Amino acid sequence: MMMMMMMIMLYQSVFTMSMMLCQPSAKCVYDNNDLIKEQHDDVSLGQCWDMAKVNKGGFVVDHGILYHIDKVDGQRVCQLCVPTSRRDSVMRLAHDSVFSGHLGERKTRERIRLSFFWPQLRQSVRQYVNTCTE
């Protein structure tokens, strides 16, 4: 069972890395180790940490980093749990694409969900897209 879980995690990280080439990703947002500290300090991620401790809600901790396992378009994805302070950067990267211009709410949300998670994501994205003035 443990071995199976490890295999899934390994597969997930490879899958996530391959997506980083064309997706906004942790690498775009972070260039140091502040991530883990910010995840712990963020009150809005408190429940996620609690659930990860009891293996509930799809939350997992890998190398100290909090992730959420979800399904997007039938694919299992490993989403980085984003602290509040970084959510605007993630939304900007997903919404304001060099190649496709400013995406609508649904497409922006779908792009984010391939790599990222945070509570109330749907509402945040709606607000961000609706208030984008560029």
In the complex, least distance from residue 98 CB atom to Zn ion, rounded to whole angstroms:
13
Given the complex with Zn ion, which of 36 and 103 has the nearer CB atom? 103
Based on CB atoms, which residue is closest to Zn ion, 35 or 90?
A: 90
DSSP labels for 46-81?
Answer: HHHHHHHHTT-TTEEEETTEEEEEEEETTEEEEEEE
3-state SS assignment for residue 95: helix
| Residue placing its CB nearer to Zn ion in the complex, 38 or 96 | 96
Query: Closer to Zn ion at the Cβ: 44 or 89?
Result: 89
Largest CA distance in the chain: 50
Q: List residues binding Zn ion (CB under 5 A).
A: 102, 132
Q: What are phi and psi of 46, to 5 degrees?
A: -55, -45
Distance of CA 120 to the CA centre of its chain: 12
Q: Whole-number minimum distance, CB 101 to Zn ion, in Å?
A: 8
Could you tell me the smallest distance in angstroms from the CB atom of residue 57 to Zn ion? 31
Nearest distance, CB of residue 29 and Zn ion, angstroms: 18
